[in-house]
Structure 1
């Protein structure tokens, strides 16, 4: 809000903002960035903020590198140079998102990184939404997080053994783990199995948009 005021983009209007979170903190799911994106979307939709595409990109980059993903987020790929590309894609996944009763500090996890693998999204293509391709990808931060929190590795192994899962990934720097399914029924069955095994952990069945 200070940045919007500084650039006089809201005509000095003031707002009382209440944030209701549907995901836990320290889950590695970009919650803070999506808070920002949700506000920007609201201001644009209500015609309170009039901003050109190139100005919007500059604004979001000042707030966070992944904020731009929350501006019309469906089927969007963010490349390493900050450009975004959107696709018409019919691939939909049912997801089981789980988080143990502890969080991961993004700052702490990234401080342990020695090197990253070669960027995959320099030249985005529609194949990036295909299951066959997604299965080949990895989250470089998993090794670091699993070394610090052995329970995360245990949770991923459990989800990887659920029936009909397509693949399982840690989200961001953790501590949430996401299992992907091609049907609501398979996802629901995995949800029931997980809650029986890890009753104290946060867990929700969802789907991609």
Structure 2
């Protein structure tokens, strides 16, 4: 035993002075070499991946985009809000057949849900599904067009699985399809590592449709041109302003409403000089006079569907609603405020099988984050 202790002491002292201990067996040496080789290969693969990422980032930067961040989530679920028009003025008919308008848009907490997930790198097209019958699944769908636009503009060939859970009916005047497209653009940009700035997406969105640009604002904006020229404003009315949206089963296409437009019926109140300033200085819905809640598309829409005008008059008679008007080109009627007698309102409107009634509120989002369902 004493001899073993002396040998251990000698080996410890020898080690401290650089003397080698007992030699490794051939099997141990081979195992050590394999481990060193594996570590070397891992480091080489990591170096190649880093070089590939740096090359990709440099290429994206050369195209004028922000840095692409490789990390992050592979899937996200986003709320896709609707909008109402607090005023909508038709300015003129343009040579290209479209109309110049001036409108104050406000996002509301009623809308759809978009589930977006990155597909593997070998995917060659997007997958799309929707719970609502009649929603197109080809490239006429605004969600698919928005995803394709993001690939085209960023140069990043990332494909997605998009599942749209719709609540907003078509031809409602609430911008549901446009909101879906803007939500898809935002989500794709997040999942691709934010290769595009918000300003770039706003610029690109006009190619998809008139109202899409608005949904990239923070929730309140003054829109002109076809609606694609968007000037963001601070939230105008108190946070959480309540409203009720009533949508009859009948729908109206925007072209049919414009076809019935009588230019002699258009409001004479100037949007820039009168309407917008009245809303900008307001601190509550009570401050803005009812004469400034104008929608130039109401008369032609009511000619196309007389029942729509009758519905508006019935809703105006409900105690508690401060302002009642049609949104967009219809057929939804929104009512700012809450009914004083909810039970009676439910009997008169909520139980009517020909009507869809939604209670919601004004919403806005914070800088750098997407809208949330209230």
With normalisation by structure 2, the TM-score equals 0.49
Question: 1:149 is matched with which residue?
Answer: 305
Gapped regions of structure 2 (runs ≥ 5): 1-146, 364-374
- More strand by proportion, 1 or 2? 2
Q: Separation in 2 of the partners of 1:89 and 1:145?
A: 27
Question: 1:108 is matched with which residue?
Answer: 256
Is the CA contact (8 Å cut-off) linking 1:79 and 1:122 kept in structure 2? no
Question: 1:6 is matched with which residue?
Answer: 152
Is the CA contact (8 Å cut-off) linking 2:246 and 2:355 kept in structure 1? yes
Is the CA contact (8 Å cut-off) linking 2:246 and 2:334 kept in structure 1? yes
User: Which of 339, 348, 362 matches 1:208?
Assistant: 362
User: Which of 213, 232, 236 matches 1:85?
Assistant: 232
Deviation at 1:205, TM superposition (A): 1.1
Q: Is the aligned partner of 1:32 residue 2:177?
A: yes
Q: SS where residue 324 of structure 2 aligns?
A: strand
Q: Separation in 2 of the partners of 1:78 and 1:177?
A: 20
Deviation at 1:6, TM superposition (A): 2.2
Is the CA contact (8 Å cut-off) linking 1:128 and 1:134 kept in structure 2? no
User: Which of 268, 273, 288 matches 1:133?
Assistant: 288
Gapped regions of structure 1 (runs ≥ 5): none
Question: 1:178 is matched with which residue?
Answer: 334
With normalisation by structure 1, the TM-score equals 0.84
| Alignment: residue pair count | 204
Q: Quote the RMSD (CA, aligned, Å).
A: 2.5
Q: Is the aligned partner of 1:16 residue 2:164?
A: no
Q: SS where residue 152 of structure 1 aligns?
A: helix
User: Which of 240, 246, 271 matches 1:120?
Assistant: 271
Q: Is the aligned partner of 1:67 residue 2:222?
A: no
Closer, same or farther: CA 167–107 of 1 in aligned 2, 3 Å: same
